[in-house]
């Protein structure tokens, strides 16, 4: 199919433009690719491929047929309160991204479960010492957000022997995973959770959810060192002052954070130097240019052929 009669516009923020363009041209060298802000005639643009598009820019394309988020989350598109109406917003659902996220979740659950922070400390002191070690089957992991990413991570943790539950809007029926739904079942979900993994989207219904009241409800009778938070969803899901307070009062023992209220995390944040906090720079599951471009191009080819787009977000729900 000839795609040369239409134009794509990339919004790439601080990502590597050369790599994204090279990978897309590798897939189809005939494409008319524009890189914001050098967009040329706004009437030409059929598809926007966007990471953090500046508010107001998408509205300028009168012939826009779809907006592709370059990540799984779409809150960075929603930041624009003046989005064109009736243009579908499509998010990434791709095995490459899903596997990366599950690697991250499994790594950090195991790292806390196996008490690796303490062994690193022993090593720094040249100390040969072993600690008691609960079995995975004694450790209860709770995954907030049982969507594309949460389900895959939950199943991998279950395979490793952990006792896994998930929390979502709707009830799930997944073999071996206990399902909790909605605010009414949140407390029960937290009460049975030793390691809380957050893979929720940022919406009006989830903003600020990871707060002191939630940490207070986490199980305090676990086999490990105490409740752990792993957040790879979005930074604005969490209240960082409440995380620090909970780390002091024992509602949390430790945390792994990939996302932050403000990114990059300001150098003044006490999280950087907290002895029981692990920080990664919002790279739990990076968007791989080759895989994500291929996913989007497949969708566009199908769309041009009159087929429906997949993974269009529900604007009313916000994810
Ligand atoms: P999905 O849309 O597939 O899943 C979202 C899940 O959250 C669903 O299970 C949904 O419930 C649940 N949910 C949404 N709102 C609520 C609510 N108010 N209460 C309870 N549950 C709720 O998203 P993905 O799994 O693909 O991605 C999740 C998020 O991960 C992304 O939005 C993004 O923010 C983040 N992410 C972070 C990355 C990183 O590198 N740090 C990389 C990729 C994604 P239901 O199933 O009932 O609809
Ligand atoms: C995403 C992300 O949403 O990388 O994909 O945060």
Distances in whole angstroms, Cα of residue 77 to Cα of each of 53, 59, 299: 6, 12, 19
pLDDT-above-90 percentage for the chain: 98
Say if residue 88 is in the same domain as residue 103: no
Say if residue 166 is in the same domain as residue 81: no
Q: Residue 4's pLDDT is what? A: 52
Ligand 1, CB within 6 Å, residue ranges: 71-73, 101, 145-150, 167-170, 199-203, 205-206, 232-234, 258-259, 282-285, 319
Say if residue 102 is in the same domain as residue 230: yes
269-319 pLDDT, tens digit per residue, is 999 999 999 999 999 999 999 999 999 999 999 999 999 999 999 999 999
| 85, 313 Cβ separation under 8 angstroms | no
Ligand nearest to the CA of 94: 1
Beta carbon of 73 within 6 Å of any ligand 2 atom: yes
Residue 252 lies in a domain: yes
Say if residue 244 is in the same domain as residue 187: yes
Q: Domain containing 170 — which CATH number? A: 3.40.50.720
176-185 pLDDT, tens digit per residue, is 999 999 999 9
The structural domain count of the chain equals 2
Say if residue 38 is in the same domain as residue 176: no
Say if residue 115 is in the same domain as residue 70: no
Q: How far apart are CA 319 and CA 313, in angstroms?
A: 5
Q: Residue 3's pLDDT is what? A: 56
Residue 213 lies in a domain: yes
Q: DSSP per residue over 80-145, as a string?
A: -TTPPTT--EE----HHHHHHHHHHHHHHHHHHHTTHHHHHHHHHTT---------GGG-EEEEE-
At residue 1, does pLDDT exceed 60? no
Residue 68 lies in a domain: yes
Residue 316 lies in a domain: no
Domain span at residue 104 reads 98-279
Q: Which residues are designated catalytic?
A: 234, 282
Atom number of ligand 1 nearest to Cα 206: 18
Q: From the CA of 201, how far away is ligand 1's center (Å)?
A: 4
85-113 pLDDT, tens digit per residue, is 999 999 999 999 999 999 999 999 999 99
> Which of 287, 288, 289 should be mutated for ligand 2, with most atoms under 8 A from CB?
287
Say if residue 53 is in the same domain as residue 110: no
Say if residue 194 is in the same domain as residue 45: no
Residue 313 lies in a domain: no
Residue 311 lies in a domain: no
Say if residue 199 is in the same domain as residue 256: yes
Residue 318 lies in a domain: no
If you average pLDDT over every residue of the chain, what do you get? 97
Which residue has the least CA distance to atom 1 on ligand 2?
Answer: 71
Say if residue 49 is in the same domain as residue 185: no
């Amino acid at each position: 199919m000839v795609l040369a009669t239409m134009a794509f516009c990339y919004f790439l923020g601080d990502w590597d433009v050369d790599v994204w363009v090279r990978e897309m041209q590798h897939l189809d060298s005939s494409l008319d690719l524009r890189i914001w802000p050098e967009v040329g005639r706004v009437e030409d643009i059929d598809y926007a491929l966007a990471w953090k598009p500046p508010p107001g820019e998408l509205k300028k394309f009168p012939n826009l047929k779809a907006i592709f988020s370059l990540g799984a989350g779409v809150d960075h598109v929603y930041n624009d309160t003046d989005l064109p109406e009736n243009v579908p917003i499509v998010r990434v659902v791709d095995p490459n991204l899903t596997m990366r996220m599950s690697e991250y979740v499994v790594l950090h659950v195991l790292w806390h479960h196996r008490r690796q922070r303490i062994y690193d400390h022993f090593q720094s002191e040249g100390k040969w010492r072993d600690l008691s070690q609960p079995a995975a089957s004694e450790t209860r992991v709770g995954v907030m957000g049982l969507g594309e990413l949460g389900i895959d991570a939950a199943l991998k943790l279950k395979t490793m022997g952990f006792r896994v539950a998930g929390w979502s809007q709707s009830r799930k029926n997944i073999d071996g995973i206990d399902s909790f739904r909605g605010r009414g079942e949140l407390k029960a979900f937290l009460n049975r959770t030793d390691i809380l993994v957050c893979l929720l989207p940022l919406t009006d219904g989830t903003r600020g959810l990871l707060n002191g009241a939630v940490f207070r409800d986490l199980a305090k009778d676990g086999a490990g060192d105490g409740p752990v938070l792993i957040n790879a969803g979005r930074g604005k899901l969490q209240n960082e002052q409440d995380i620090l307070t909970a780390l002091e009062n024992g509602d949390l023992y430790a945390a792994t954070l990939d996302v932050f209220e403000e990114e990059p995390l300001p150098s003044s944040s006490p999280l950087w130097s907290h002895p029981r906090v692990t920080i990664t720079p919002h790279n739990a599951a990076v968007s791989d240019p080759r895989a994500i471009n291929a996913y989007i191009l497949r969708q566009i080819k199908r769309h041009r052929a009159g087929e429906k787009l997949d993974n269009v977000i529900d604007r009313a729900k916000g994810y």
